[in-house]
Structure 1
Amino acid sequence: MSFFDSNTNTSAAAAVAPAPAPGKKLPHELNPRIPPPQPELNEDPTQLLAMITCQPYHSWDKYIDRVRDSVSKRVWEINRVDEMEERMRQLRELIYMGEKVWIVQGLFFEYGFNITIGEDVFIGANCTLLDVGPIKIGSRTMLGPNCQLLTPDHPIAPEARRGLEGKESSKPIVIGDDCWIGAGVTICPGITIGNGTTIGAASVVTKDVGDRCVVVGNPGRVIKKIRMDGTLEDVPRA
């Protein structure tokens, strides 16, 4: 059973980011780590609500700007903390995560409240988690240095993008349990990677990947399956 499917009342399970609840309208009611809007600043929650539910939204909204800028400052400060345990303590104030998670300096993310990490996870140096949409990383998974998990999604047509004036959206990324994501891997918006899968260094993952696969290349393709005894089975090129 995956970390994300667990209903047990452990400290790790309690660290899962809450799913949006029906009938509630404000972002901070859907996720308690989001600060409430400040009426005196004329902050409208509409765009942030659209963002956290993966709907089209304007990213340069006043409320979103304040939340993003506040987290950006914290991330900069946390990355300057040399001592690993203290750095992890501070990261836990921003990111939902289980026990025994170790993240090397240089991590970049925009919000934190959209990230859920399982137990016994390692994330290497200088990884980027663009968490406009939800990012979930399963237990016992490792990410090498310089990985990029990218949830933002922009219109392809320039007329729809309109420079910085158009709306953007997002697609969630899910990485299963027991995965090894090699150095420099890029995972594109909307991708789900199954349990026990290995992604080779510098691969670009543009399609969903099943359980116990080996993926390499740009675009990434499955070249092997990992049998339950640990041996590898070749997958013919399509």
Structure 2
Amino acid sequence: MSAARAIEGKHALVTGGGSGVGKAIALALAEAGVAVTICGRRGAALAEVAKESDRIFAVAADVTNESEMAALHEKAEAARGPFDIVVANAGTAGSAPAHKTSLADWQRTLDVNLTGAFLTVKPALAGMLARKAGRIVFVASTAGLKGYAYVAPYVAAKHGVVGLMRALAAETAKSGVTVNAVCPGFVETYMLEESVQRIVEKTGRSAAEARQSLSATNPQGRFIQPDEVADAVLWLCSDAARSITGQAISISGGETW
């Protein structure tokens, strides 16, 4: 049985599902026959993604707000059954030298990337443990596996996500629940374009030169595509990956391992 067929009929939550990697994951899961609840703060973007599949359902919610996330879980599970799959994908990033990073920027980055990931998975854990089944996937980053200059809050947050994943994997290992992370390098999304623009503004280099400097971090000399991340998530959610837990899988063309 293919990985896609093995998860048909399940219910998944994908945060940050309105664009980029989250959108790609939602569409891949829906194509595999999964009912997918997507959430984010931009209702219009979520609605556009939901138009692409009758298996995708959009709910506006802020991952940093505990009550909103609890309400999302309650509403979605009442409508489509308990979550079998939770993909914590929502994220944000900025760029500045550490000594010029404001406390507000530091806190916001940790709130979205780390606390938001925790609040995404927490409401689903008890049910998964009771059913002795479930798949949790965190979308981390190569920044969760190594350091990068000028993005200290993001690196700290993504290292935290990997640590959270490993702690939950240890807690749930005997339950039938698996917990993993995918760690992409630079992915062709709006966040990449924001990084390019910051380089252009701060260095005077052209956009093409900025893109070249970023793609050079990948030994394959290219950017990762959102569907490549989605393919890895789809596999981790399947029975084919039932023995895989506690792993941070680098999707980076060999940049990290």
TM-score by length of 1: 0.29
TM-score by length of 2: 0.27
Flag the structure with more relative contact order, 1 or 2, with Cα contacts below 8 A and sequence separation at least 6. 2
The answer to which structure has the higher strand fraction is: 1
